[in-house]
Amino acid sequence: MTVPAPPPRLITDLRELTPARVALGRAGASLPTAAWLKFALDHARARDAVHAAFDPERLCAGLGELDLRTLSVSSRASNRADYLRRPDLGRQLDQASLQSVAEARGSDPCGADACGLAVVIGDGANDLPMFAEADVSIAYRAKPVARERATHTLDFCGLDGALNLFN
């Protein structure tokens, strides 16, 4: 069996610029087994993340038991079906959440001192700006790009597993 030649520099440069699956190789008419299995795992994680139950009240209650103040916000996507049809709405806070954030910040629109610790949870590239601003970022059943940039990852437990980070 011969060892495949390393990929040309152009392809390795492209791989560094994107999380997309490019130039994975071939095994006959298909992908190599390792690339196929990684894709299948990523696809299963993404599907599970979309359909996983999220209980913000339970998470906030657990954080409250640790004497941590929380502010739960919602996006303009009122339900999962709306989010799947309009992912852009999932990146925008609804009006009530905007008002709650403004009240929590007080009169200062930047509100840098409003919170002692900012914890955010996300699963994809759209969450990276939020990860960059937070003290603690948690990639929950996330795409590889989010897992790489988060301070913590949760892949094999429920979202309440985030509480273990604060014990």
pLDDT, mean over the chain: 80
**pLDDT, mean of residues 23-36:** 84
37 has a pLDDT exceeding 90: yes
Distance CA 158, CA 35 (A): 27
DSSP 91-140: GSB-HHHHHHHHHHHTT-SS-TTS-S--EEEE-SGGGHHHHHH-SEEEEE
| Domain extents in the chain | 29-71+115-167, 74-110
Highest mean pLDDT among 17-31, 73-87, 119-133, 137-151: 137-151
- DSSP annotation of 4 reads P
pLDDT at position 40, please?
Answer: 92
The three-point CA angle 35-40-41 to 5° equals 100
Backbone angles phi, psi at 158, to 5 degrees: -75, 170
Strand partners, 154: 140
Distance CA 127, CA 148 (A): 12
pLDDT at position 118, please?
Answer: 78
Distance CA 44, CA 50 (A): 10
Confidence of residue 106 (pLDDT cuts 50, 70, 90): low
Distance CA 65, CA 63 (A): 5
Distance CA 124, CA 143 (A): 5
| The residue type at 32 | P
Per-residue model confidence as pLDDT tens digits over 46-61: 888 777 777 788 888 8
Confidence of residue 114 (pLDDT cuts 50, 70, 90): low
Confidence of residue 150 (pLDDT cuts 50, 70, 90): very high
